[in-house]
Amino acid sequence: MTTYRLFLAAVFLVSLTYGFTIGAGVQLYDVLEEDRAFSVYADASVPILPILHWRQGIFNLDLPSDGMNLSLGTGLSSDLLFFIPADIPVTPYVVTGLWTYLNDAGIELDLRIGLGGQTDIGPVFGYLELGTDFSLIKPDDGDTRTDYPLFVRAGIRRPLKFKIKR
């Protein structure tokens, strides 16, 4: 609940000046494995600085080969996006983040790192991200293990800005 309140406070304060962005897309996870997972997600991001954005996951529907997981609310994932200023049609950026998964089988903590690029598509931005997670998996009934799955994400972002009327 604390992450949720912190995120809402940050969205409100920063959006008065910079606005915020909502996004949606798809992700292919563990791309080199036969039992790769596909997910649909939504997120919101706030520009802390013009080159630094904080992104929070707000919806995630995982569709692994053995079932389905649905998650709602903030705290699903938290990423920092470091945009690299460039005078080219695609703006490159670095993704770093922390993802947590709690389920009946145990706990998983992922440190995410990757590269992305976004471009203007009319009133929205299209983007593509590639990277890896450094995963620490602690099952309730077994030994801790690590994994390094690769991911590919693609989606759109829509900037929003509030205006205060006086």
The predicted pLDDT at position 90 comes to 95
Q: Can you give the pLDDT at residue 30?
A: 80
pLDDT confidence of residue 152: 95
Report DSSP state, residue 51: T
Which of 77-91, 129-143, 145-159 is the least confident region? 129-143
* Number of C-beta neighbours around residue 46 at 10 A: 20
72-121 residue pLDDT tens: 665 568 899 999 999 999 999 999 998 877 666 677 788 999 999 999 99
Average pLDDT over residues 127-138: 90
Fold classification of 2-158 is: Porin (2.40.160)
If we measure between CA atoms, which residue out of 50, 58, 48 comes closest to residue 3? 58
- C-alpha span between 70 and 155 (Å, rounded): 19
Separation CA 109–CA 76 (nearest Å): 11
Model pLDDT for residues 38-70, shown as the tens digit of each residue:
889 999 998 888 899 999 888 888 776 666 676
* Listed residue (131, 71, 126) closest to 100, CA to CA: 71
Q: Is the pLDDT score of 145 beyond 80?
A: no
| DSSP sequence for 100-150 | EEEETTEEEEEEEEEEEEEEEETTEEEEEEEEEEEEEEEETTS--EEE--E
Report the predicted TM-score, pTM, of the whole model to 2 decimal places: 0.80
The domain locations on the chain are: 2-158
Question: Token pair of 120, please?
Answer: 């203007």
- Residue 67: per-residue pLDDT: 67
- The pLDDT-based confidence of 138 (bands split at 50, 70, 90) is confident
* Four-point Cα dihedral 117, 56, 13, 163, nearest 10: 60
- Phi first, then psi: give them for residue 3, nearest 5 degrees: -60, -40
Residue 17 pLDDT exceeds 80? no
